[in-house]
């Protein structure tokens, strides 16, 4: 089965509402941006023993924006005030706005830099709030004093894939922002079904894990030059590259 390709578009696997209006306008001025997060994030119902671990933790690590959202929207009062370690200044600001005094973040917005920060601190036990699909082989997982607790599920169904395929029909995709390894895995199934529309694609990633995965498939892929403000950096690069190519 075939269909007419009638428009050029960017595919952005990130929620539109989390992209600054200024960046949305910049993207729209270049081509049609399609915001299609290839995921459904759902908070996990924790058992009392898991909640107790959070309430008694002296150090909490949060690397996911959704894990932070879950934490901030749960009634998890602490027996002691823990120190928080997060991935970015933006995440630290969100915690500070809720009255958290002790919060640290690394120089660069990636897990490798955060792992270095944690390794430099006294080896007390830390609790890492994660999702079920975080990258398992990373420097954080190697830290012996870090315990993981899954607080949300990253899910995807055949029905959701079918819906995305339907939305993408008729669009020639030239540039894709891929925000995680799981998004890329799901994207591959979609590309197989719509191969003619993904015939000349450049991929853009926010970090090394996704970059390594895509480059291993011998695809044209770009990663951030610096590890600060990576979302803004890569969306602007997509726009600039498209303009240069016109």
Q: Which tens digit of pLDDT belongs to each residue from 41-72? A: 999 999 999 999 999 999 999 999 999 999 99
Quick check: 34 and 198 in contact, CB under 8 A? no
**pLDDT (average), residues 180-207:** 94
Order of all β-strands in the sheet with 202-205: 32-35, 7-12, 171-178, 202-205, 221-222
Q: pLDDT class for 3, splitting at 50, 70, 90? A: very low
pLDDT of residue 2: 47
For the cut 70, the answer to whether the pLDDT of residue 1 exceeds it is no
Q: pLDDT class for 177, splitting at 50, 70, 90? A: very high
pTM to 2 decimals? 0.80
Quick check: 53 and 77 in contact, CB under 8 A? no
**How high is the mean pLDDT of the chain?**
90
* C-alpha–C-alpha distance, residues 100 and 89, integer Å: 13
**pLDDT (average), residues 201-224:** 93
- Long-range interactions of 226-230: CB distance < 8 A, separation 24+: 226/108, 227/108, 227/109, 227/110, 227/113, 228/108, 228/109, 229/109, 230/109, 230/206
- Give the Å distances, CA to CA, from 10 to 163, 176, 179: 17, 6, 14
pLDDT of residue 28: 95
Q: Which contiguous run of DSSP H or E holds residue 93?
A: helix 89-97
Which is more confidently placed, 97 or 112?
97
Opening angle at CA 205, ends 13 and 4, nearest 5: 50
pLDDT of residue 228: 81
**pLDDT (average), residues 164-177:** 95
């Amino acid at each position: 089965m075939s269909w007419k390709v009638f428009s050029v578009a960017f595919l952005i696997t990130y929620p539109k509402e989390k992209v600054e209006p200024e960046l949305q306008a910049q993207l729209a001025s270049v081509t049609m941006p399609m915001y299609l997060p290839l995921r459904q994030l759902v908070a996990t119902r924790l058992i009392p023993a898991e909640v107790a671990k959070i309430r008694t933790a002296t150090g909490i690590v949060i690397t996911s924006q959704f894990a932070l959202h879950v934490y901030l929207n749960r009634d998890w009062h602490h027996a002691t005030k823990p120190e928080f370690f997060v991935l970015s200044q933006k995440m630290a600001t969100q915690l500070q706005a809720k009255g958290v005094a002790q919060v640290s973040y690394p120089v660069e917005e990636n897990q490798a830099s955060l792992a270095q920060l944690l390794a430099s601190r006294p080896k007390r036990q830390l609790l890492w709030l994660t999702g079920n699909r975080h990258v398992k082989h990373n420097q954080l997982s190697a830290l012996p004093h870090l315990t993981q607790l899954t607080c949300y599920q990253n899910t995807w169904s055949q029905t959701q894939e079918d819906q995305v395929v339907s939305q993408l029909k008729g669009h020639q995709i030239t540039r894709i922002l891929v925000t995680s390894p799981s998004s890329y895995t799901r994207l591959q199934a979609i590309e197989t079904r719509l191969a003619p529309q993904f015939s000349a694609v450049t991929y853009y990633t926010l970090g090394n894990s996704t970059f390594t995965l895509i480059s291993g498939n011998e695809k044209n892929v770009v990663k951030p030059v610096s590890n600060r403000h990576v979302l803004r950096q890569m969306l602007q690069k997509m726009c600039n590259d498209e303009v240069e190519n016109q």
